[in-house]
Structure formats: structure tokens, C-alpha cells
Structure 1
Amino acid sequence: MRTGIVSRNPDVMSGAVVFAGTRVPVQVLLDHLEAGESIDDFLAGVPSVTRAQVIAFLEEARDRIAASVS
């Protein structure tokens, strides 16, 4: 992932991948989306994450998946 989208530090959330500058694990977003909830629902529950961070994460994930199957 590009720098600034996510981070991982063993001292933050036990080393879980979190949105940069927050303590919000990326897995929380994925769980919300898997449950059929919207990005807006996710953002309403975690105001420390911005829409720009979510979109950047999803775009980067999409690009990585596309590159791996090409």
C-alpha cells in the first residue's frame, strides 16, 4: 500500500493494519462492507477515518488485485 493510506505498528492495536493516523483497523471497514453496509455507515461510526482514506484504500486494493491477475 502507498504510504499514508494504512500503517502497521506492533504498539498500535497489537500490530493490526490500521488507517494511517488512526487506531481503526482496516478489517473493520472490510467487515462493514461484507455485511452489506455502506461506506457512509462505516464513516458515521468512525469519524477519525476520512472518506478520502477509505477511497484510497479501496482503489489501492483494486489495483493490486488487478495487477495480480494480469
Structure 2
Amino acid sequence: MEIAQNISVDPNVHHGTPVITGTRVPISIVIGSLAGGMSKEEVMQEYELTQTQVEAVLTTLQHIL
């Protein structure tokens, strides 16, 4: 089930934690990597994500906070 644009929750993927749609990358990994000092480009390369996917995580985070 998509809970936000490009963010999904599926009980069969990472025990139902939010992931980037179409991947098994939890949004918590992206947030933690950025908070730890990685640039968006580094996160994109490390986890094979697009800029749109990384920005979807940040948009979702803004709505939560």
C-alpha cells in the first residue's frame, strides 16, 4: 500500500516498515544516511535511488514533523 508518493508499506517487506516504492530500501536508512552527513548524490549512488525517490523521503518526513 502506498502511504505517500513513492513511499509504501507492505507487511511482507521489512516487516511493514515504510520503504521506497519498488525497492526494499527503508526510508529510515535514507534519513539516517542524510543525517549522518551523506549528500543526496551519495545516498542515490549507495542505494541505487533516483533523486525523485530521495526527495519523496524528505517530503514525507516534512509531513510527519
TM class by shorter chain equals 0.7 to 0.9
TM-score by length of 2: 0.79
Runs of 4+ in 1 over 4 A off after TM superposition: none
Unaligned runs of 5+ residues in structure 1 are 66-70
Q: Deviations over 1:11-69 (max 9, x none)?
A: 0111111001110000111110111111111111111x21111113313432x23xxxx
More strand by share: 2
TM-score by length of 1: 0.74
Q: How much is the aligned-residue C-alpha RMSD, in angstroms?
A: 1.5
Identity among equivalent positions (%) equals 29
Aligned residues: 62
- Larger Cα-atom Rg: 1
> What residue is the counterpart of 1:68 in the other structure?
none
